[in-house]
Amino acid sequence: MKYIVVTGGVMSGLGKGITMASIGRILKNHGYKIVPIKIDPYINIDAGTMNPYQHGEVYVLGDGAEVDLDLGHYERFMDVDLGREHNITTGIVYSAVIERERRGEYLGQTVQIIPHVTNEIKARIRGVAEKSGADVCLVEIGGTVGDIESMPFLEAVRQMKLEERENDFLFVHVTLVPFTTLHEQKTKPTQHSVKALRELGLQPDIIVCRSREALREDVKDKIAMFCNVSPKAVISARDTEDIYEVPLLLEREGIFSYLMEKLQLEQSKEDPAWGRMVARRKLSSEGKKIRIAIVGKYAELEDSYLSIKEAIKHAATELGCKVEMKWIEAEELEEEKEVDFDDVRGILVPGGFGVRGAEGKIKAIEYARENKIPFLGLCFGFQLAVIEAARNVAGLKDANSSELCETPHPVIDLLEEQREVVKKGGTMRLGDYEVFIRRETLAERIYQKRKIVERHRHRYEVNPAYIEQIEREGVVFSGTDRSGTRMEIMEISPDIHPFFLATQFHPEFKSRPNKPSAPFKAFLEACININPKIQTLNPNQYQIPKTQ
């Protein structure tokens, strides 16, 4: 097993996750099987309770694990499906060590950071690597060198370096080369960052230097000399407009050749599919431009909806168009007397728990329905679309969710079998679940199949007692779980509305650059084909298939 450990210095947010995802993509392009692991030094068990303003979106894996958004980058770049074992946090490690101590497994020893905590970290890394059967295991250590919470993890990988064969372990350090007002490229932050790393017993093999522009050769030579690496090991990672171009950029800089040399990898033929995809993305940026509104409660921080942004880009690449995203704070809509979406061709309402901004999102949904603007609702956006239909189509004026308030018409509620589970501390419905699609519906047209698997992150459901009342004037629940009691997809007939679809699940989590999510692609197709002035749809679009 080969190991590549990625660390970061100078400041957070430099792009360690993109760097590691790109290295993984490069290796996969050359035929190597890879497995990524993200180490998060925070004491939280997982990212599920974290505020999106502080940490970006909570990404959900297939097994229901709630993790850091970097694992989303790994899945999208490397086209792999990960599980909870691929995310290691301080909270997970310390919990496991304390449980072992309570069970007496340490036989009365004084439990310490070294060796007990570091042994637990090493065992988890090796366990995931061996179970995967991969050729290369990539490990990203979150935070920056010098953070006190990162110390046990850095010590653990220092020990692993000594325990593994010399050509099986490699360190990549991501750092910053800032520019002065005189356009000088300054190496001192990189020098100090590497110095701090070396003080911990870690010598980087490759230094990836983030900068606004490509590094000059003399700057690379200076970094190599002061940081004790070969000039070939100093990789310039300049800013790019498209993150999916980063693997190509790093490979042009020679990172794969150096990885081959250091890890003694065999040369293999390169798969050009990634390069073709990036070329298509460049062409699509010059294609037809459309503007869509995203109405959310975290619109100030776009990383809160990172997977949605990427899913839109994936679909736009496939369709050859450029999408401009107009971010709208849902709370601001609540204060407006009139909702104005005249400059957009589609409206998307994403997930986001809680009462704050809920009525603003409902306003946006009502506007999309009444003005026949293509609409896509996700998770909480689905539930609010159900509430809007209950109020304004079914005539249940006080309809709401019992999660948000007391209401005489809880059209969104806990199912009966959920109540006892929630009382006992049961959590949300998380991860992959099957969805069964009704025949001759828009959902069937979009997915081209009647059974799908999508990722979920919610607790409350559509109240079955109100389904018959809500399903009128073209409103249809076109997807359910196997039992038929949990509603998964709501749509309005294409005879009545050009495109109106809402899903209880999160299709954005399964979107990939070369395999866009079906609902996102269909949504953008509708936005492209609709004429915003006359609000009619190309009649060749979304014909309901005749099922044999």
Q: Which residues are catalytic?
A: 379, 506, 508
3-state secondary structure of 359: helix
Q: Which of 370, 374, 376, 378 is nearest to 527 (CA)?
A: 374
Asked if residues 207 and 217 have their Cβ atoms less than 8 Å apart, the reply is no
Range list of H helices, 133-216: 151-163, 188-199
Range list of H helices, 325-379: 330-335, 358-370
H or E stretch at 311: helix 306-319
The β-bridge partners of 490 are: 477, 502
The β-bridge partners of 35 are: 137
Q: What angle do CA 143, 147, 148 make, to 5 degrees?
A: 130
Cα 75 versus chain centre, distance: 8
Burial class (CB in 10 A: 0-12, 13-18, 19+), 158: middle
What does the buried/exposed string (b/e) look like for 48-78 if buried means 16 or more CB atoms within 10 Å of the residue's CB? Answer: bebebeebbbbbbbbebbbbbbbbbbbbbbb
Q: What is the rounded distance in angstroms from the CA atom of residue 387 to the CA atom of residue 318?
A: 33
Q: What is the rounded distance in angstroms from the CA atom of residue 46 to the CA atom of residue 50?
A: 8
Cα 457 versus chain centre, distance: 13
- The string of DSSP letters for 461-510 reads EE-GGGHHHHS-TTEEEEEE-TTS-SEEEEEE-TTT-S-EEEESS-GGGG
Residue with tokens 């310490």: 112
Q: What is the rounded distance in angstroms from the CA atom of residue 431 to the CA atom of residue 454?
A: 8
Q: What is the rounded distance in angstroms from the CA atom of residue 330 to the CA atom of residue 297?
A: 5
Burial class (CB in 10 A: 0-12, 13-18, 19+), 177: buried
Q: What is the rounded distance in angstroms from the CA atom of residue 527 to the CA atom of residue 521?
A: 10
The β-bridge partners of 400 are: 410
3-state secondary structure of 334: helix
Burial class (CB in 10 A: 0-12, 13-18, 19+), 1: middle
The β-bridge partners of 173 are: 7, 207
User: For 513, how many CA atoms within 13 A lie in the half-sphere containing its CB?
Assistant: 25
Tokens standing for residue 126 = 């090796």
Asked if residues 507 and 499 have their Cβ atoms less than 8 Å apart, the reply is no
* Total residues belonging to the chain: 548
3-state secondary structure of 289: strand
